[in-house]
Amino acid sequence: MSANDDRDPLFRYDDPVFADERLLEITHLPGPDRIVGRDEQMQRVADALNPAIFGSEPNHLFIFGKTGTGKSLISRSVTQRVISEAQHDGVTVKYAFIDCGEQNTEASIIKTIAQIVNEPDDSGVTIPDRGLGTGDYYKRLWQAVDRCTDVTIVILDEIDMLEDDEVLRKLSRAGENRRISDSSIGIIGISNKIDFPDHLSERVKSSLSRDELVFPPYDANQLVEILEKRRDAFHDGVLSDDVIPLTAALAAQEHGDARKAIDILRNAGRIAKKQNDSRVTADHVRDAKEKTEADRFNELIEGSPQQAKAILYALTILTENSSEKEFPTKIIYNQYKEIARQLDFDVLSERRVQEILQEQNFLNVIQSEREGRGRGRGAHAKHRLLENPSIVKKVLLRDARLAVLEDDE
């Protein structure tokens, strides 16, 4: 009798494809032996954080680089190593990782750091979820930091999404301004936008001294190596020989993006499993690439209003049916009116459509450029879709209201 004989046959108890799928989760923090090609960057981050090991203030650091180049991974990995090294000497280092895309107000950032660092028995304060003003959250943060840690490392991912950069100034000068006396704070800011510091306010620019570091994209060989070191996510013999090289090549097409490579590999395994295949093949990888790109695009437009999706759909149809790539607002508007009627939507004004196109632009979904110079704000802009139209269409048609458009093709 096998061990599973007394189990409910409705469920699966062994996974034919994955031995440990968690190794391919984006939030998984791999050990140092699985990290490829980032020795120099790791050393630079370690140099900035080094003082923390002795309980002194780390240097603040900004890290730039395209998506999937290992910025968060290296920041988190080196920070973990600082924490264990410091522990040897009885120094307490804590860290807060904050995604400013999700939390971008001063109060919510301060509250989150305070909640992570705080131990009420030591600090004598609690950090409630709501009900305090920003000033009070700061007061409790300083108390928590002073009494519960020697050093706090604050990692601000997508730092360019901060609503107000005042928080950087206050955190970076907490010691100098005697907000804290027994402890110190180091900031690591992460961004895809290399010109981000230009947009900081003058107050912050001049007060926040920092090192800066750029992470280059990976080449296809490095991506192969990264994936090879996660091969044990799968059972032996499940991956066909061409799977890893093909995944790496597809992920290197735009820029060497390890996030995309890992997402494609995980999705290929999931697709194989869903189809009851015991081997992952090149076909699964190609399907997985499409799914990965669609999921990523979905994340960008998820939650956008349906009118915005209809406008995007108009631009998608135009792109698909033309050799042109860029379209003036007027042309998109005409196409949009047609679509809005088909969908039984109220037809927005051309001015409003122009505004929404600019909002989409902000989301990195489309790129807009003014045609000529000084000819009225935005009205003469041209817009270009940044993603493959077939993917955009597929994702937009996932919206139940827009799905009827599919039948009209």
Ligand X SMILES: Nc1ncnc2c1ncn2[C@@H]1O[C@H](COP(=O)(O)OP(=O)(O)OP(=O)(O)O)[C@@H](O)[C@H]1O
Chain residues binding ligand X by CB under 6 A are: 26, 30, 34-38, 65, 67-73, 192, 226, 258-259, 262
405 touches 399 (CB < 8 A): no
CA distance 409 to 399: 16
The residue of the chain with the least Cβ separation from ligand X equals: 70
Q: How far is the CB of 38 from ligand X (least distance, A)?
A: 4
Q: How far is the CB of 26 from ligand X (least distance, A)?
A: 5
Of 72 and 183, the one with the shorter C-beta distance to ligand X is 72
Of 34 and 81, the one with the shorter C-beta distance to ligand X is 34
Q: Which of 148, 137, 63 minimizes the C-alpha distance to 107?
A: 137
71 among the known binding-site residues? yes
70 among the known binding-site residues? yes
231 among the known binding-site residues? no
CA distance 189 to 185: 13
59 touches 51 (CB < 8 A): yes
Of 205 and 296, the one with the shorter C-beta distance to ligand X is 296
235 touches 17 (CB < 8 A): yes
Q: How far apart are the first and last CA of the chain?
A: 56
79 among the known binding-site residues? no
Q: How far is the CB of 78 from ligand X (least distance, A)?
A: 12
Q: Which of 115, 114, 184 minimizes the C-alpha distance to 150?
A: 184
Cα torsion through 275, 279, 284, 285, rounded to 10: 150
Q: How far is the CB of 20 from ligand X (least distance, A)?
A: 14
Of 156 and 258, the one with the shorter C-beta distance to ligand X is 258
| Helix or strand run (H / E) with residue 295 | helix 282-301
Q: How far is the CB of 72 from ligand X (least distance, A)?
A: 4
| Helix or strand run (H / E) with residue 87 | helix 71-88
Of 104 and 307, the one with the shorter C-beta distance to ligand X is 104
Q: How far is the CB of 314 from ligand X (least distance, A)?
A: 29
230 among the known binding-site residues? yes
Of 71 and 170, the one with the shorter C-beta distance to ligand X is 71
CA dihedral sign of residues 248, 241, 35, 265:
positive
- Please give the annotated binding residues for ATP, written as ranges: 69-73, 218, 230
